[in-house]
Amino acid sequence: MAYFSKHYHNPGTAPGTLVAKTESRRPVNLHLLDYTEEHVEEVSLASAADCREYLARESKTWIQVNGQADPDTLRNLGDLFDLHDLALEDVLNTGQRPKVELYDDQLFLIAAMPFYDGENLEIVQISLFVGKNYLICLCPLDEDPFEPVRKRMRMPNNRRFSSRGIDYLLYALLDLITDSGFPVLEQFGYQLEEMETDLLENPNQQTLAQIHGLKRELLVLRRVLWPQRELLTSLMRTEDQLINADTQVYFRDCHDHSVQIIELLESFREMATSMLDIYLSSISQRTNETMRVLTIIATIFIPLTFVVGIYGMNFEHADSPWAMPELGWYYGYPMVWAVMIAITGGLIWFFRRRGWM
């Protein structure tokens, strides 16, 4: 994934400007879930204006917007729920830093949900508006990742949601977003194990590229998980009227999960860094082994080259006292071979005794 993934307006654009991005958009699906202690009602909406009739009720309303929200949908939601222009701009310009902001009687949150699309790490921005009796969740994915929460709400005699305020629904969604980091880190763990095996058996350039790619993804993940931990810390300690005291204990549990994920993340980053050191050490060791073998071979052939160089001079004169008698000797040739074999065997024995072979 890209190092810089934030969408932004041109410098100098007025704050709160909603301009559609040029790339193709996926269709927007609006799903509304209205619930009380007695019933749970679900409907699919054709437009944001269809939410109006539910605002006058005493029930709690969850509006789920899936797909890339267009400016018209955001403006309709903003007019209907009195959402701040700056918050709507942050929703449209994805890649924002996880944060929580208070606008009058509303909470605006941006959370980051990591997941694997099969091969690569993806991080999705989830935007949430929380009011007294409503929660608006905007997710750019086509498939709704919060179906497990909706399934729990449909269960009969489930009073965890109906007997508590809308802040408990906010906790349930943030808990799912936070826990989505565990399967991602599990995938990182599998990759680290495979890379460790490759490093020990056959380190190569492909393994090096995989290590650098993994370090890059861990860095990107760290960049969004640390501020998300701060977000949960703020909710855990906030005194805002939208967050009840009996719900803060659940946010503490969610914060604890975030701490565990960050600790695992930091451990994996250290392991990836150490694997890079192991790769460099392995390559250096392989180079040293190769140089040692070549040095031994060269050392063995140095005296042999000297011997054949001497006897290859062919200085032979019958009357000279400095002539080489071996050149005319009947057993001269096999004797030279015997000397060279003896030198080779002696050097090999010496190298093995010193532990160089």
Residues in the chain, pLDDT under 50: 24
Question: What backbone phi and psi angles, to 5 degrees, belong to 264?
Answer: -65, -40
143 and 43 belong to one structural domain: yes
Q: Are 138 and 63 in contact, with CB atoms under 8 Å apart?
A: no
Q: Which residues contact 202 (CB under 8 A, 6 or more apart)?
A: none
Give the tens place of pLDDT for each residue, 67-90: 888 888 888 898 888 888 889 988
pTM of the shown model: 0.77
Using alpha carbons, list the distances in angstroms from residue 251 to 175, 187, 227: 8, 26, 15
pLDDT of residue 10: 60
Residues 55 and 161 in one domain: yes
Domain count, the chain: 2
Confidence (pLDDT) at 14: 55
Same domain, 229 and 337: no
242, 169 in Cβ contact below 8 A?
no
Question: Do 245 and 342 belong together in one domain?
Answer: no
Residue 305, in any domain of the structure: no
Q: Beta strand pairing status for 99-103 and 60-66?
A: unpaired
Report the CATH number that the domain containing residue 178 is assigned in CATH.
3.30.460.20
Q: Which of 262, 282, 302 is the last residue of a domain?
A: 282
Quote the CA–CA distance of 178 and 115 in Å, as a whole number: 11
What 3-state DSSP class applies to 28?
coil
Q: Quick one: 322 and 244 in the same domain?
A: no
Domain boundary pick from 266, 282, 298:
282
Q: Which tens digit of pLDDT belongs to each residue from 313-326?
A: 766 666 667 667 67
Task: Provide the domain limits for residue 235.
Answer: 29-282
What span, in angstroms and rounded, lies between the C-alpha atoms of 275 and 269?
Answer: 10
318 and 178, same domain (yes or no): no
pLDDT at 323: 67
